[in-house]
Amino acid sequence: MKNAHNKITLTLLLGLCTLLLGACGQNTTNTTSSNTKTTDNSSNAKKHSTAKSFYSKNSSNQSSSVWNDTKDDKLASFMVTWGQTMKQSYTQCTPDRNTTYTGLHYPNDFSDNKTAFSNHKLSAGWSPDGSNKYKVNVVAIYEDTNGGSTIGGRIYLFTIQDHTPIVYYTEQNQGTPDGLVHFEPTQNTDLSNGFKNIVNSKKTATPKSATTKSSNKSGSSDTTADTNNQKFVFPSRMQGTWYTYTDGDKIQTVSFDGNLWKSMGKTDKAFEASKHPS
């Protein structure tokens, strides 16, 4: 009888142990599953946060860059309007489509390091985002070939120099003693201010009417015409930039452009003798 009682007690204890072990196993499984789920959620949240951070960083870089596609499109629209105002036609030039005016091929020609800015030979190159890679960082180029003529055309370089927007131009149609292509800052305030506003993400004013600008194709779009006096336009064979050496072996240039001549950094206008302004 005593042995039977002991057997019953042992059986009950074994059963109780089995139930306890089963419950512990279930709790362990649930805990592991819960921990795994929490880990997965944390991983997903981290991935989402990383992706969001990456997107925000890229968006910030795009909006804060000196030059981007949006600004490039705005300049393209501005040049169409400005060209119509000047009665000229401008073509955008890129590394895939270089300039052709008088045999110049920009931006590829920058690699020859034979470009001068305000009579200073400076490093220059194509910089589509405006980053400071060169002394003169070119973000856009436009040319007017004047119908393929060797005179009356011009090339404009839209640049960032020392973190400042500057528009340079050349009408050079022949070689020079120093073997350089010379660019000068534009004197056209509509063009220079328009470019500055685009770079600085400001509203760009509509270019003024052609009645207040030179609209003669042989003249420059880079200066303001005097509409109150009769201009004397220099003959076509004189148009362009001429170079000579001074006694000190320095290069001196004289440019004839429409009714303008430029020498020693000074620009003068020519008028008919009877119509010269007082």
Which residues 6+ apart lie within 8 Å of 237 measured at CB?
A: none
Host H or E run for residue 44: helix 2-64
Rounded to an integer, what distance in angstroms lies between the CA atom of residue 174 and that of residue 253? 12
Q: pLDDT tens digits, residue range 29-60?
A: 454 454 544 445 555 545 444 444 444 444 44
pTM above 0.75, yes or no: no
Minimum mean pLDDT range among 1-10, 49-58, 99-108, 153-162: 49-58
Cβ atoms of 215 and 222 closer than 8 Å: no
Q: What is the mean pLDDT of the chain?
A: 75
Percent of all residues in the chain with a pLDDT value above 70, rounded to a whole number: 58
Q: How far apart are CA 219 and CA 146, in angstroms?
A: 11
140: left (phi over 0), alpha (psi -120 to 50) or beta: beta
For residue 148, pLDDT beyond 50: yes
The pair phi, psi for residue 161, each rounded to 5°, is -125, 120
| pLDDT tier for residue 272 given thresholds of 50, 70 and 90 | low
Which CA distances in Å does 19 have to 16, 31, 49, 159, 183? 5, 18, 45, 82, 93
Distance CA 175, CA 187 (A): 23
Q: Do the beta carbons of residue 170 and residue 136 sit within 8 Å?
A: no
Residue 233's nearest CA partner among 217, 221, 249, 222 is: 217
The number of angstroms, rounded, from the C-alpha of 73 to the middle of its chain's C-alpha atoms is: 10
Strands 136-144 and 154-161: antiparallel
Hey, how many other C-beta atoms are within 10 angstroms of the C-beta on 234? 18
* pLDDT bracket for residue 203 (50, 70, 90): confident
